[in-house]
Structure 1
Amino acid sequence: MGFVLSRLERIFRFLWGGWSGVAGLALLAALWQAGHETYGDFILSAPLATFTAVAALLAEAETWRLAAETTARALQGFGLSALTGGAAGIAAGYSPATMRLARPLITVILGVPPIAWIVLAMIWFGATDGTVVVTVAVGTLPVLFAGAAEGVAARDRGLDAMAEAFGAGPLRRFLTVGLRQVLMHLFPALILGLGSAFKVAVMAELLANAGGIGGALALARANLDIAEALAWVILTVAALVAVEYGLIHPVRAELERWREAARPWGVKR
């Protein structure tokens, strides 16, 4: 019973803290309306017209299929980069020699713009899922690698020594002490990488004509339909928010419960 009440309390605090986010969205809507009144429908459609277009799209089954297709591609690429980049970053963080070898490679990957990877992936895979997945994986891998490596490098080695003094082996020390410290740096990188994954996925779909939300955006651009184009952008952001707050944040809350115990009573950050 206590477990359930604890989770419900945390969910309530999280939802109550969302008022600041609602205020920010209201400010964005006000600026959006001001831009519409200044430049007109051809440049920026009104928020009401855009959300009407969103409602019309959500009433179509094809919209859900396209959104699911883009989300699946983004998550496949993100998952691939999270596994490889996170594991490689942790290994490099524990090995200074490996870190020195990996830094130039990460710099090279970061220096190549995503559009170049899209062109190469189109040559290799054509207008298929592989183009989008590979582009997303390569585009997000450096961020996740750097987050994992930084987490290992910044860990408190005194805690490792204390765990070793109590008889904990290398694997147990990593799982109970080191990994928790790595996750402090890795979770922000995961959130940043997830956002990049959706952006890169839509861009790759648009340029490679691979369907999904990117293909729908290309059609809206061809029809000069600003309201529909903005509606697809809103749906992309909604899919990103759903994945982030439905997957990343709950896992982070479970793995970082120690933060609550470390805070003084009544003090919230």
Structure 2
Amino acid sequence: MTSVVGTVTAFLWRGWTVLVSLCLLGALWQVGHEVYGGLVLPAPMDTLAALRDLVAEGVALPAALETARDALIGFLVTAVVGVIVGAVAGLSVTVGRLLEPLVRFFLGVPAIAWVVLALIWFAGSGLAAVFTVVVTTLPVVIIGAMQGARTLDRDVVDMARVFRAPPWVRVVDLYVPHILSYVFPALATAMGLSWKLAVMAEVLGGTAGIGEGLSLARVNIDTADAMAWILLALVMLLSLEGLVMDPLRRRLEPWRTRGNGGGRS
């Protein structure tokens, strides 16, 4: 009963803080509109009206699904490959030393450079967005998994071996929980980057999706439409994080929820 009350209290507290933040953002947005005018920053209600029109015209949902497909495919590839490769590199000194220069190289290349190369290699194809997402976010997840594997308490590992714990027990109860505590922040970062990169590739490549809508809004000098597309992308990203990432984190990291105790901190 106490845990249920704590969960409800935490949910209400988070909802209240989110509402206050949205009201503050809306107020600042309206002030910016009053100062700079609608061409630079349309009013919040004008943006919502433009988004409503995009939905009514039947262009918003297909574009959002197109962008979501490219971003999610790239993100899933990054998550699977990044966690496996990073964990192996963290547990093996040799693999880690071989991989670190490559990871630093990929981290050092600007995202826009990958977009340009992807548009040359995969012109007119959704693969450009997927490729850009993977090569840009993969190093982030690999580093997270590497750090998780490297900081694993060797004394605990040795103890598990002394007590002859089966390999699958060591993996499920020892390796996975510890590595996940480092991987999930990296995955959250990769999720946000995936959307930005997919939209960027669509804007520059002229392929279907939210990026195409933004590109058309730029050509038409329609700031309200541009803000509406941005708002749509933000809503989609937050929905995915709330409906997929947060429940997955609670399921795979129950110790983190228990540690918070349903408090407000």
TM-score strictly above 0.5: yes
Residue 114, structure 1, aligned to residue 102, structure 2: no
Percent of residue pairs bearing the same amino acid type: 42
**Partner residue of 2:148?**
151
CA distance, structure 2, for counterparts of residue 177 and residue 7 of structure 1:
28
**Partner residue of 2:102?**
105
Q: 1:124 to 1:62 in 2, by over 3 A?
A: same
Q: CA deviation at 1:11?
A: 6.5
Is the deviation greater in 172-181 or in 149-158?
149-158
**Partner residue of 1:216?**
213
Residue 225, structure 1, aligned to residue 222, structure 2: yes
Q: CA deviation at 1:201?
A: 0.2
Q: CA deviation at 1:127?
A: 1.3
CA distance, structure 2, for counterparts of residue 152 and residue 77 of structure 1:
24
Aligned-pair RMSD on alpha carbons? 2.1
**Partner residue of 2:31?**
34
Q: 1:63 to 1:7 in 2, by over 3 A?
A: farther
**Partner residue of 1:243?**
240
**Structure 2 counterparts to residues 177-196 of structure 1, below 5 A:** 177-196=174-193
SS of 1:48's partner is helix
Q: Deviations along 1:198-225, whole A, 9 cap, x unmatched?
A: 0000000010111100001000000000
Q: 1:75 to 1:260 in 2, by over 3 A?
A: closer
Residue number among 118, 133, 136 corresponding to 1:136 in the alignment: 133
CA distance, structure 2, for counterparts of residue 214 and residue 14 of structure 1:
34
Higher relative contact order (CA 8 A, sep 6+): 2
CA distance, structure 1, for counterparts of residue 160 and residue 52 of structure 2:
55
**Partner residue of 1:207?**
204
CA distance, structure 2, for counterparts of residue 6 and residue 229 of structure 1:
44
CA distance, structure 2, for counterparts of residue 213 and residue 82 of structure 1:
23
CA distance, structure 2, for counterparts of residue 53 and residue 171 of structure 1:
54
Q: 1:21 to 1:114 in 2, by over 3 A?
A: same
SS of 1:17's partner is helix
Is the deviation greater in 20-29 or in 241-250?
20-29
Amino acid at match of 2:185: P
* Ranges in structure 1 where 5+ consecutive residues have no aligned partner: none
Residue number among 157, 160, 164 corresponding to 1:160 in the alignment: 157
Q: 1:187 to 1:26 in 2, by over 3 A?
A: same
SS of 2:189's partner is helix
Q: CA deviation at 1:171?
A: 3.4
Count residues with an aligned counterpart. Answer: 265
The TM-score with structure 1 as length reference comes to: 0.92
Q: CA deviation at 1:156?
A: 2.4
